[in-house]
Structure 1
Amino acid sequence: RVIDFWARMGVDGLRLDAVPYLFEREGTNCENLPETHQFLRRLRARLDSRFKNRMLLAEANQWPEDAAAYFADGAECHMAFHFPIMPRLFMALHMEDRFPILDILEQTPPIPETCQWGLFLRNHDELTLEMVTDEERDYMYRVYAENPQMRVNLGIRRRLAPLLGNHRRRIELMNGLLFSLPGTPILYYGDEIGMGDNIYLGDRNGVRTPMQWSADRNAGFSRANPQRLYLPVIIDPEYNYETINVEAQQNNPYSLLWWMKRLIALRKRHRAFGRGTIEFLHPENRRVLVFLRRHQDEHILVVANLSRFVQYLELDLSAFRGWVPVEMFGRVAFPPVGEYPYFLTLGPHSFYWFSLEPKPAARIQAGGGDRDAPLPLLTVSGRWEGILRGGKKSALEKALSTYLKGQRWFGGKEREIRNLEVIEILPVMEDPTPAYILLVRVDFPEGDSEVFTLPMMFAPGERAEKLRNDHPRAAMARLRFEDRDGEGMIFDASVEERFGESLLV
């Protein structure tokens, strides 16, 4: 009844706290009992039979092979936290050695296709050191929690920014690893702006202080009398809420908040990060972590410098001879891979995400719009307007990048599109044939961004085919429905007479 209640309320998932100890039995330590797995199978079956797109997340602070049992071939939990990787990321960073990361990922078993690991750097509890050796625990205490006030239970009660000395490059590097390793990255509130902590609060409360929304009273978290807050806001000079808050960083395009937004947007555009395989490369320089993520035709090379000093390395990329590494944040093409080892240098605590591409994307000539050229395929559940929201919007933006390159009026044909974002959606026509005007911002590797106006409508079945024949350049993408039979096309609404009339009304 509890799960049904929350699922009907619209929650997307439920975290199963300390799930290995769900059942108790005399004469055992009550961990990982068969009764627990039997119950989880029944729970999963009930959830799937009554609700769509809901998930169960197992909190099992165990070694990967033990935690993976809660996937049960896809019949129990959809996700499970990967606890042991968290301390090893911090360990590798301070040791300036990739071994701790490689070691724990080699111990991580394969999981079902329908399941995923949950990765995190920090959460509402301590940075747990249960899944490390005594020697490793002593090392972590020595380098990250010298003050006993920073410790609780078998862990370190500090937020991400204080753990890393509020060092912007180290914070970016750790998030870059979090977002590129296999699994779903999970951010703890406040870490996206570099919030501090209060180690003098009891128990785990030091990392649970109010979110710092603004420089207003109570950091914008509450209008109540400050003395009534369950926990006080952070007033430490380095992390004071009047300086570190969402409002201030939202107004600064170079802030950590905006950097995190760009990181998230970039990851969402590439399925290789979420669903791809991983292959580690082993250059001689142990201070650099290198791996490949692959999914279908995507090949992404991640290179991370764990050292506080500049590093160089030579990579064996012979399998990609003739291909071009394109730096993904700025879409900057590096020299193509040749017959010799590929040479790279990295600044202190820096990282690269490279898209390995067979050749530079062929430019679409002005006056394109070939009737026989394949259109990008988008999928959506429910109404077609669903492509304008959530995760589907990223796929639409990718399709619009291709569409723009084929238009005579597009002034950036000779420039590569670094990023395209739909920044505004204006409804123009209502049912039965809704239409929208999209304001689209296009970023280029060089020069200023430009904003374009794109009118958009949807046409089903035969109507779509007729439009494609009559106005080939108006076709933007094919659209297929996930929850029913049927396919259509989104197109430039300016070719539709009714759209023009609606603008005059």
Structure 2
Amino acid sequence: MMQEPGFEDAIIYQIDPALFYDSDGDGCGDLAGITERLEYVRDLGADWIWLLPFYPTPYRDGGYDVVDHLGVDPRFGRPEDFDRLLERADELGLRVIIDLVAQHTSIDHRWFQQARSDRDSPYRSYYLWSDDEPQDQLEPVFPGVEDSVWSWDEQAGQYYRHMFYRHEPDLDLAQPAVRDALYRVIDHWLSRGVAGFRIDAVPYMVERARAADPRDDGLWLLDDLRRYVTDRRPGALLLGEVDVPVDEYAGYYGAGDRLSMLLNFWMNNHLFLALTRESGQPIRESLIEIPVPPAPARFANFLRNHDELDLEQLTETERKEVLEAFAPEERMRSYGRGIRRRLAPMLDGDHRRIAMAHALLLSLPGTPVLLYGDEIGMGDDLARSERRAVRIPMQWSGKPNAGFSTAPPDRTIARAVPDGPLGYRRTNVADQRDTDDSLLARVRRLVHARAAHPDLAVSTCEVLEAGPDSVLALRFPESSADLITMINLSPGEVDVTLRIPGLEHYAEIVADRPYPPPAAGLTLGGYGYRWLGRDRGVPYGSSLGTHRP
């Protein structure tokens, strides 16, 4: 099979199928609705899409409680709708990855139903059972919601393990039959045309592999997974949810032959510490401390995602600092460790600050991942429980239900938030799409600038001394434009000093506002950002990238 172009320069846009766009007016977003809105994603500048689960599900955990890994839930459409989505994405130059949920199933999955009803069922070994509640010191992923990772099942007459919710029993990947089932799932979706997978809860999968074979601390599972996927689709992306201490990252990459990308929780935590302190220092230190992924692997950097902002990679003191800044009320916090708010309300709805945060994200070495709706500054709904607070309908317009659905409001899968500055009446795509100074326009310019300079995807960069502590300045000297990015995390204007000869040969690529040429001195406005590229024979003022799409 010929090697297809890979994931190295990807810009990923994360979509929740239930909440993006409802094409048939039944109150739930669907695959056909995503297909209708793919041009919006392409116009934004993203070239990969990560779809959250659309499998058959009771939908008690946003679709991660799967009852059939090979199907499409009728509320999201038909298998043909998924095929059409992939066809249209291909026409637009977009690739699609989907969630691979292999750590657990729904309690309603036929495997579990057969396992609980018959100790001699071949599916009994698919799950973890015990006659007595083990004292294994395992802590539930959602403390305060679940008291233990073991629950008694009356029908089975045993305890079963669930690291997440009790309605999501853990699969035992130590069993070859379970791994074979996993590979059948991979086969199915690769054959339909997906470009890869975001793999849920990878460390827990590795823990079960370790129980079967302690070789490489259980990471041999990722070797096998990579080989299996590559044999079927060279260049496929394996994006891992790996929230572990930073010194464990290297094992999940291997020699570049395990996971393609890791979601960079270490950088994410320190990015919010930097925003809290209005200082670039936490990020400067993180860039030094974090391991360099082996080529062609990358880190996947993000601001927010569909879960809580889990701050466990910070010290207790640092975590308290971020919580006090961005979640001052107890209802804004979750599980004793994180924040259940979207980006915009944490940054007080300030479009300058939200755009600066995106400039920061897009400046970091690695692959940027954008959560749907953050590009317009959507808010959240703290009336919804747990992580559901950030899982609200996409705000397309000021029409009822935010233009997400034509169903009666009481029949939508989640309430669209109408009120307040971040509600859909005042924050939506329709109002921002054609406004040059809107948040959407600013983020679009940044994403297009990033797409025009894929050198930022390289795994290394130089951290520059810039003078003010609030400024993060990075240089990518091996890039075609010898790129320099500068971000001011504070609200006050600052003067920047870079010890780089020949600044007169650099030109503006993208900035938060017009600035004098670099040779006249470097200034950054409050929450300002500037990207400069070296003029290699091109007069100052000529475009070195896509300034405005």
Superposition TM-score tier, normalisation by shorter sequence: 0.5 to 0.7
Structure with the greater relative contact order (CA < 8 A, sep ≥ 6): 1 or 2? 2
> Counterpart of 1:193?
376
Q: CA deviation at 1:35?
A: 6.2
CA distance in 1, matches of 2:459, 2:210: 43
How many positions carry a matched residue from both structures? 364
Change (3 A) 1:353 1:24: closer
Q: 1:237 aligns with which of 420, 435, 441?
A: 420
Identity of aligned residues (%): 36
Q: What amino acid is the match of 1:293?
A: F
> Counterpart of 1:2?
185
> Counterpart of 1:70?
252
Q: Is the 8 A contact 1:20 1:31 kept in 2?
A: no
1:326 equivalenced with 2:507 (yes/no) = yes
Question: Which secondary structure does the structure 2 equivalent of 1:179 belong to?
Answer: helix
Q: What amino acid is the match of 1:308?
A: P
Q: CA deviation at 1:276?
A: 6.3
Q: Deviations over 1:17-44 (max 9, x none)?
A: 110111546998x999846421211111
Q: 2:471 aligns with which of 288, 294, 306?
A: 288
1:117 equivalenced with 2:299 (yes/no) = yes
1:108-257 → structure 2 map (5 Å cutoff): 108-153=290-335, 154-257=337-440
CA distance in 2, matches of 1:358, 1:309: 33
Q: What amino acid is the match of 2:508?
A: E
> Counterpart of 2:136?
none
1:48-67 → structure 2 map (5 Å cutoff): 48-67=230-249
Change (3 A) 1:32 1:135: farther
Q: Deviations over 1:81-125 (max 9, x none)?
A: 110111222221231222111111111111111101000000001
Larger radius of gyration: 1
CA distance in 2, matches of 1:333, 1:143: 31
> Counterpart of 2:527?
349
Q: Is the 8 A contact 2:226 2:259 kept in 1?
A: yes
Q: Is the 8 A contact 1:315 1:343 kept in 2?
A: no
> TM-score, normalization: structure 2?
0.62
CA distance in 2, matches of 1:8, 1:75: 22
Higher strand share: 1
CA distance in 1, matches of 2:544, 2:447: 15
CA distance in 2, matches of 1:227, 1:118: 37
Q: Deviations over 1:201-247 (max 9, x none)?
A: 11111100111122233222223332122221112321221221222
Q: Structure 2 stretches of 5 or more lacking a match?
A: 1-183
1:299 equivalenced with 2:482 (yes/no) = yes
CA distance in 1, matches of 2:266, 2:254: 20
> Counterpart of 1:372?
none
Change (3 A) 1:193 1:297: closer
Q: CA deviation at 1:180?
A: 0.9
Q: Is the 8 A contact 1:182 1:274 kept in 2?
A: yes
Question: Which secondary structure does the structure 2 equivalent of 1:84 belong to?
Answer: helix
Q: Is the 8 A contact 1:325 1:356 kept in 2?
A: yes
CA distance in 1, matches of 2:210, 2:255: 29
Deviates more, 1:275-284 or 1:304-313: 275-284
Q: Is the 8 A contact 2:302 2:370 kept in 1?
A: yes
Question: Which secondary structure does the structure 1 equivalent of 2:301 belong to?
Answer: strand
Q: Is the 8 A contact 1:287 1:307 kept in 2?
A: yes
Q: What amino acid is the match of 1:135?
A: T
Q: What amino acid is the match of 2:505?
A: V
| C-alpha RMSD over aligned residues | 2.9
Change (3 A) 1:216 1:236: closer
Q: What amino acid is the match of 1:46?
A: Y
Q: Is the 8 A contact 2:263 2:301 kept in 1?
A: yes
Q: What amino acid is the match of 2:264?
A: H
Change (3 A) 1:122 1:65: same
Question: Which secondary structure does the structure 2 equivalent of 1:283 belong to?
Answer: coil
Q: 1:262 aligns with which of 431, 439, 445?
A: 445
Question: Which secondary structure does the structure 2 equivalent of 1:206 belong to?
Answer: helix
> Counterpart of 1:46?
228
Q: Is the 8 A contact 1:57 1:81 kept in 2?
A: yes
1:79 equivalenced with 2:261 (yes/no) = yes
Q: Deviations over 1:383-418 (max 9, x none)?
A: xxxxxxxxxxxxxxxxxxxxxxxxxxxxxxxx9457
> Counterpart of 2:109?
none
> Counterpart of 2:34?
none
CA distance in 1, matches of 2:214, 2:259: 14
> Counterpart of 2:202?
19
Change (3 A) 1:270 1:31: farther
Q: CA deviation at 1:355?
A: 0.7
Question: Which secondary structure does the structure 2 equivalent of 1:355 belong to?
Answer: strand
Question: Which secondary structure does the structure 2 equivalent of 1:302 belong to?
Answer: strand
Q: CA deviation at 1:197?
A: 0.4
Q: CA deviation at 1:420?
A: 7.1
Question: Which secondary structure does the structure 2 equivalent of 1:277 belong to?
Answer: coil
Question: Which secondary structure does the structure 2 equivalent of 1:68 belong to?
Answer: helix
> Counterpart of 1:275?
458
Change (3 A) 1:332 1:25: closer
CA distance in 1, matches of 2:213, 2:462: 33
Change (3 A) 1:138 1:252: same
Change (3 A) 1:300 1:280: same
1:424-463 → structure 2 map (5 Å cutoff): none
CA distance in 1, matches of 2:190, 2:456: 28
Q: What amino acid is the match of 2:523?
A: T
